[in-house]
Amino acid sequence: MTTNLANLSHTDHLFIAGQWVRPASGGGWIELVSPSTEAVLGAVVAASPADVDRAVAAARHAFDHGPWPRMTAGDRAAALRRVADRLAARAPDVAYAWSAQVGMPIAHSGMFAQYARAYFDYFCGLAEGTGFEELRTPAQGGTCVVVREPVGVTVTIVPWNAPLATLLLKVAPALMAGCTVIAKPSPETPLEALLLAECVAEAGLPEGVFSVLPAGREVSEYLIRKQEVDKVSFTGSTAAGLHVASICASRSARVTTELGGKSAAIVLEDAPVDTVVGGIMPNLIGLCGQQCAAFSRILVPRARQAEITEALAAAFRSVQVGDPFAADTQMGPLVARRQLDRVRDYVSRGQAEGARLVTGGGRPANLPRGWYIEPTLFAEVDNAMTIAREEIFGPVGSIIPFDDVEQAIAIANDSPYGLSGGVFTQDTDRAYAVARRIRTGNFAQNGRVIDFTLPYGGFKQSGVGREGGIEGLHGFTEIKTVFLPHAPSHLAPSGAEQPA
């Protein structure tokens, strides 16, 4: 098992402009605490506002004067594939970091570590295949080239629940588009960003292209207020995301946000109970329920409420909760004591408002240390209750009965969020018809699918913009329209004559 803070070599340095440097005074240290044992894992150095100034100035200079934005897509792809090669070689360190900091079971973090490089491979291939220039014909004749150019200096702010996956979903397309990037990891999970920085350093990207600034929330705000920053890509809570968006709007900086959710899984009368259980459980148990796209509202036909409640309760009780580094663990701890207190408070509020606690809600008896909680299921929940309105970010499911599909759709849409959702049925035509009526950015039949090669994001207070797919790559570009009398030679159709 990999230890020693994921075998990092520079925990006392910051990665700024492609170099490992001593931090300016005032940043201090970020102490990392194991959520499973409550023991201190170690510490990494924290950035200060002075370090932010240095990183932003370097990124600005590299974008305005350096080679990276002016390289061909093929040349950038070659450099990023070197990063991917080194990241693949660090798979054991990637797996350790997620399990140690967040409590993700090692079986799951190990699987992700094996394909982390796929993010770079995908966006490199996408950019090489599609290019950033498109010939069009203006209405008045002549030629037009619609160009996608890199948006500029980009700040990526990522949460603690899936730190590397979220980081790569931003950094890989941003770099591939030609942006310079400053990564700001969550203070709970800085290791993945530092691992990526070591890979970037070894791959030899140009100076100023990539920096990492581990720090607290105050430094994040200082960073996104910098006039030299052209775009902020943020994933986190809705409250924080609205604040980030308001700062960006005040100076017309570009912004993408992927925020909270309170997603509904609609169970129709023909859905097999095993399909329902198999599709819902990973969404509520994976990452100890700390997923923005979790199916936390389970809408069931009133006539099937008892059957589905019993089946889900049995599945909840069978979950193996424990040490994230044990091979048979299915669910680890919550990330921090404050998160445990938060989930316990929601459990108490659910009971106080009249929901029936079917199972869970307490600490597993065999786990006296760590921030553990049992998988928790409520039944007889009304959609107006707090546990059905607010994002809990824990392994808590609420069963809400409905009388017909029209009512189910109305309940699913009665939320300030719109990130994910699903419908359980054997009828695909019916599933698609339901999907088209739910105001949410992602929807699936008989489970949940998140695929970084396809667009992901939310409606309403679940965010603005999309990540993943061609939409995710284009999100790090600006569109320029260039009118010309004829096509430039490198875009001219084969065999076409160019005017003298």
pLDDT (tens, 9 = 90+) of the chain, 500 residues, equals: 344 799 999 999 999 999 999 999 877 999 999 999 999 999 999 999 999 999 999 999 999 999 999 999 999 999 999 999 999 999 999 999 999 999 999 999 999 999 999 999 999 999 999 889 999 999 999 999 999 999 999 999 999 999 999 999 999 999 999 999 999 999 999 999 999 999 999 999 999 999 999 999 899 999 999 999 999 999 999 999 999 999 999 999 999 999 999 999 999 999 999 999 999 999 899 999 999 999 999 999 999 999 999 999 999 999 999 999 999 999 999 999 999 999 999 999 999 999 999 999 999 999 999 999 999 999 999 999 999 999 999 999 999 999 999 999 999 999 999 999 999 999 999 999 999 999 999 999 999 999 999 999 999 999 999 999 999 999 999 999 999 999 999 998 875 555 55
Q: 348 CB contacts (<8 Å, ≥6 apart)?
A: none
Do 124 and 150 have their domain in common? Answer: yes
The reply to whether 202 belongs to the active site is no
CATH number at residue 298: 3.40.309.10
Angle CA(416)–CA(418)–CA(423) in degrees, nearest 5? 125
Catalytic residue among 292, 374, 391, 467: 292
The reply to whether 258 belongs to the active site is yes
Residue 493 lies in a domain: no
Do 245 and 280 have their domain in common? Answer: no
Angle CA(395)–CA(196)–CA(65) in degrees, nearest 5? 130
Do 125 and 248 have their domain in common? Answer: yes
Residue 218 lies in a domain: yes
CATH number at residue 132: 3.40.605.10
Residue 411 lies in a domain: yes
Do 207 and 334 have their domain in common? Answer: no
Structure-token pair, residue 461: 């207070």
**Number of domains making up the chain:** 2
**What is the predicted pLDDT for the residue at 2?**
43
State the Cα–Cα distance between residues 456 and 444, nearest whole angstrom: 12
Residue 60 lies in a domain: yes
Do 223 and 284 have their domain in common? Answer: no
Percent of the chain, pLDDT > 90? Answer: 95
Do 380 and 473 have their domain in common? Answer: no
What strand order describes the sheet that includes 231-235? Answer: 19-21, 14-16, 210-212, 180-184, 153-157, 231-235, 254-258, 463-464
**What is the predicted pLDDT for the residue at 496?**
57
Do 245 and 271 have their domain in common? Answer: no
Q: 196 lies in which domain range? A: 4-259+462-481
Do 355 and 304 have their domain in common? Answer: yes
Structure-token pair, residue 148: 């996608």
Do 231 and 340 have their domain in common? Answer: no
Do 254 and 273 have their domain in common? Answer: no
Residue 489 lies in a domain: no
Residue 90 lies in a domain: yes
Residue 384 lies in a domain: yes
**What is the predicted pLDDT for the residue at 130?**
85
Do 323 and 224 have their domain in common? Answer: no
Residue 309 lies in a domain: yes
Catalytic residue among 188, 198, 258, 467: 258
Do 46 and 132 have their domain in common? Answer: yes
* pLDDT tens-place string over residues 5-47: 999 999 999 999 999 999 998 779 999 999 999 999 999 999 9
State the Cα–Cα distance between residues 394 and 337, nearest whole angstrom: 12
